[in-house]
Amino acid sequence: MIQRDSLARLTLDTLPFNIAVLDEEGTILFTNRAWNEFAGVGPQERDELVGVNYFEQTDADADEYAAQALEGLQAVVEGERDIFTLEYPCHSPEEKRWFLMRAAPLPEHDEGSVVVAHIDITQRKLAELRARRQRRELEHLMSRIDGLVRDVMEAVLQADSREEIEQTVCERLHSVDPYVCAWVSQVDLRTETLSPTAAACETFPDEAELALGTDDPVVRAAETGEPQAIQDTADARVADIHRTTLLDEPGAIAAFPLVYSETSYGVLTVAATERDAFDERELAVLNVLARAASVAINAIEGRRILTTDSVVEVELGITDDGLFFGDLSAAFECTLIYEGSLYEEDGSVVMLFVVDGADPEDVAAAAREHADVTDVTVVSGGDGEGVVEFAVSDPPIVSELAERGAETTAIVAETGQVRITLELPASADPRSVIEQLSERYPSTDLLLTSRQQLALQKAYLGGFFDWPRSISGEDLAESMDISPSTYHQHLRAAEKKVLASLFEE
């Protein structure tokens, strides 16, 4: 017999579950503290529930859960079931709640026939509902963009030009609901703006530049190298270009930097007419697409420089400390001339330099103390000149330029002054290379190359700037044994540098 002060009763009162003991007729013999509190019965009135018939209080006609509960309890009482469980909702106007009902028979020697427990499982049910909703959202997301991912990957790998990659990505994104616009922009350092280079939109403005330094998601993506999003343009001040691409309706905007290693190729922007269109999963998938496009663009730019004579020759000057060949040339007041690199099987790189004006052995000894040099070998030397191999884990400047699609054709370090000659695809902006290198080497500056100087000198002396002209660009190109387009690139680059030095003073 269950006594008020029994250990069993005290134990049941400590449990957070609603527990009651019923006899074979369904009459309540005992309720614990949690049951009474849920029923609104205080400690002084806790016996009020004893003697109430639980079966009669359960309205089987009220809902299907009540009918199932009554049927299950009676089956346990009659010995037809060893245990009965039922999950059911018990919502109030203030909150949603769910409970697990569990009924089991008592031993024959104990007073009562069945013990009933109601366990609050609200948190578990809410978690299940969240997981179910997230699964539906993920299925919806994948149904929308699974084909998109496949299409974009195939398209960018088959593209023959950067322009084709950008336009293909935009068109594929635009074909997916609810995206109404996808466009790519690149930084124009001359105007300090982001300017569109490809777009696929319902509507797109004629004037679409965005000024650098402004509080805009596209600008922030370009400047930080991180994806940016505005989930509801109705709650934000956005540029006119975004309102136009969204058809003057509220929506969402996401911007993804097109970056490979440290090289920036612009920003991919996607506009959707649904608010909160870009959750974390969708942003992650679109960012992967942007990175895939960046890798493809980098490969295209690198391949272009190897297959075309339409390249721009650029010469850079660097005086910063830290470049081992510059530091060594300053320490020994000598000249180091780059002859090329050898890539070893272990991943290290050997850079070959001709040393002029210093003992190669002395230069090698000093190089072994430099942080960037892992090993040094004097290949030949004598009388203040020789050839020295410098092993490095990552060739400075050369690897950085290669990642930007540039080929290093010459490096000369003379008493601390480093001159680097490189070739870029005709579509590349030399200023962007300078800007990126300047982050690591602040003294980086654009110099007039020997080819550019020769092109300018031939044009001036030959009468190209006279009116009427005494010689054509084609004739000047032939005299330098290069194509007319390459000659004009050299000439324009030289003109720009000369004018820049004049007007920037």
Place of tokens 């088959």: 158
DSSP, collapsed to helix, strand or coil, labels residue 342 as strand
Q: Report the alpha-carbon distance of residue 171 to residue 418 in Å, rounded.
A: 45
Q: What CATH number labels 145-306? A: 3.30.450.40
What is the distance between the terminal CA atoms of the chain, rounded to a whole angstrom?
Answer: 104
Specify the pLDDT at position 440.
Answer: 84
Q: Are 448 and 490 in contact (CB under 8 A)?
A: no
Write out the two tokens for 157.
Answer: 């790998």
- Same fold flag, 7-120 and 145-306: yes
Write out the two tokens for 399.
Answer: 């690897």
Which CATH number is correct for 7-120, 3.30.1330.10, 3.40.50.300, 3.30.450.20, 3.40.50.920? 3.30.450.20
Write out the two tokens for 422.
Answer: 């490189």
Q: Are 421 and 315 in contact (CB under 8 A)?
A: yes
Alpha-carbon dihedral sign for residues 37, 39, 44, 46: negative
Q: Report the alpha-carbon distance of residue 474 to residue 332 in Å, rounded.
A: 46
382: left (phi over 0), alpha (psi -120 to 50) or beta: left
Q: Classify residue 77 by its DSSP letter.
A: H
Q: Report the alpha-carbon distance of residue 36 to residue 235 in Å, rounded.
A: 49
Q: Report the alpha-carbon distance of residue 132 to residue 127 in Å, rounded.
A: 9
**Strand 417-425 versus strand 311-318 pairing type:** antiparallel
Specify the pLDDT at position 14.
Answer: 76
| CA-based R_g, the chain, Å | 38
Residues of the chain short of pLDDT 50, as ranges, are: 1-5, 505
Count CA atoms closer than 13 A to 40's CA, side-chain side.
Answer: 0
Angle at 290 between CA 284 and CA 296, to 5 degrees: 140
Q: Are 148 and 173 in contact (CB under 8 A)?
A: yes
Q: Report the alpha-carbon distance of residue 70 to residue 66 in Å, rounded.
A: 6
Residue type at position 210: L
Write out the two tokens for 355.
Answer: 């040393």
Specify the pLDDT at position 62.
Answer: 76
Global model pTM greater than 0.95: no
Q: Report the alpha-carbon distance of residue 18 to residue 115 in Å, rounded.
A: 11
Closest CA to 391 of 371, 377, 408: 377
Instruction: Classify residue 489 by burial, with Cβ atoms within 10 Å: 0-12, 13-18, 19+.
Output: buried
Q: Report the alpha-carbon distance of residue 156 to residue 295 in Å, rounded.
A: 9
CA 357 vs CA 325, 354, 363, 414: distances in Å: 14, 10, 10, 10
Q: Are 242 and 213 in contact (CB under 8 A)?
A: no
Q: Are 235 and 219 in contact (CB under 8 A)?
A: no
Specify the pLDDT at position 2.
Answer: 45
Q: List all residues 6 or more positions away from 396 whose beta carbon is below 8 Å from its beta carbon.
A: 322, 323, 324, 372
Specify the pLDDT at position 4.
Answer: 45
Beta bridge partners of 382: 385
Write out the two tokens for 374.
Answer: 């892992």
Q: What is the DSSP string of 433-471?
A: HHHHHHTT-TT-EEE--HHHHHHHHHHHHHTTTSSS-SS
Q: Report the alpha-carbon distance of residue 5 to residue 7 in Å, rounded.
A: 7
Q: Are 210 and 194 in contact (CB under 8 A)?
A: yes
Closest CA to 283 of 213, 195, 240, 221: 221
Q: Are 194 and 185 in contact (CB under 8 A)?
A: yes
DSSP, collapsed to helix, strand or coil, labels residue 231 as coil
Specify the pLDDT at position 428.
Answer: 64
| E-only strand ranges, 281-374 | 311-318, 335-343, 349-356
Q: Report the alpha-carbon distance of residue 328 to residue 323 in Å, rounded.
A: 9
Q: List all residues 6 or more positions away from 344 whose beta carbon is below 8 Å from its beta carbon.
A: 350, 391
Specify the pLDDT at position 177.
Answer: 83
Domain spans of the chain? 7-120, 145-306, 311-447, 448-505
Count CA atoms closer than 13 A to 307's CA, side-chain side.
Answer: 8
Instruction: Classify residue 21 by burial, with Cβ atoms within 10 Å: 0-12, 13-18, 19+.
Output: buried
